[in-house]
Amino acid sequence: MERLLKFLYEYRAFFTFLSLELFCVWMVIENNQYQSTTYFNTSNSIAASIISTSQNIREYFSLTDINNDLAVENSVLKKKLDQRNQLLYSIELNNLKDAAIINRFDYVSAKVINNSTQYYKNFVTINRGTNHGIQAGMAAISPRGAVGKVKSVSRNYAVLISLLNIDDQVSSQIKRTGHFGTVQWDGGDPLSIDLKFIPRHVKLQVGDTIITSGYNAVFPEGILIGTIKEFRLNEEAQFHTIKVKLSQDFGKLSFVEIVKSNLRQEQDSLEQKTIGEPK
């Protein structure tokens, strides 16, 4: 305290001068309209800038919650869109309105907490498990397209087989022509995947859209996989050799939606009873 008083005493002339300067500035602003307007406009701009910066900082630290909210909202909207499409399809078929068909799929949003793209067999870990209704065999999609299928589940986590896994195959369709095939990764470029079993008579085009076929009751029909970037046909080959550019860059995967097929068990049970166990 003694040092503070000594400091103020030693610089008393400066502080007196500063106080008088501030008083003069205040008098000028208070008694002149132009200076008053300029002062308040400037101070408001500065205050607005500070408030804006503060808000941006708060929003930055809230990005996780915002992303989670958006992921949940996307799941709800996707379910509603799927219900709408199923309803329109049912109406076309003699006005059939089967609630089970209309509510064929449910969606659960999840955050990616681990992901690999550099191996032959890549997996994705998410922060949802049996506590959230996740089961092995469910499909995983993103806003950009198909991601993979659930391999194993614990109470709060699940591991997905990525499309970038040489053991994973997904029934697919060329949207323009309607021809069916299977996509399977060859372990090479993580941005592309192979489309197999497209007969040689099919007329392909670079840029053709590849979507899920919906044949296996896991993926909803019409989920984007990618677009054809190149193809060739060997002289004696029965099928085209096709490379598809994936719509989802797995190196940037942050959120997924797990697709719960409410009719999968019924379809699998009927096919097993009729056809038998796959060999």
Q: What is the pLDDT of residues 159-177, one digit of tens each?
A: 999 999 999 999 999 999 9
CATH superfamily, domain at 63-263: Rod shape-determining protein MreC, domain 1 (2.40.10.340)
- Top pLDDT among 162 and 81 is at 162
DSSP string covering 46-66, please? HHHHHHHHHHHHHHHHTHHHH
Length of the chain: 279
- Top pLDDT among 11 and 55 is at 11
In this structure, of 32-41, 198-207, 221-230, the range with the lowest mean pLDDT score is: 32-41
DSSP string covering 131-187, please? GGT--TT-EEEETTEEEEEEEEE-SS-EEEEEEEETT--EEEEETTT--EEEEE--S
Q: What is the pLDDT of residues 91-148, one digit of tens each?
A: 454 544 555 444 677 888 888 999 999 999 999 999 999 999 999 999 999 888 999 9
Inter-CA distances, 177 with 88, 140, 161, 224, 245, Å: 22, 25, 29, 15, 18
In the chain, domain spans: 2-61, 63-263
Measured CA angle at 186 (ends 119, 183), to 5 deg = 120
Tell me the CB-side half-sphere exposure of residue 56, using CA atoms within 13 A: 6
Whether 87 has a pLDDT exceeding 60, the answer reads no
What mean pLDDT comes out for the span 188-211? 96
In this structure, of 3-7, 118-122, 206-210, the range with the lowest mean pLDDT score is: 3-7
Q: 3-class DSSP state for residue 223?
A: coil
Parallel, antiparallel or unpaired: strands 209-212 and 192-196: unpaired
Distance CA 143, CA 71 (A): 9
Q: Check residue 91 and give its pLDDT.
A: 44
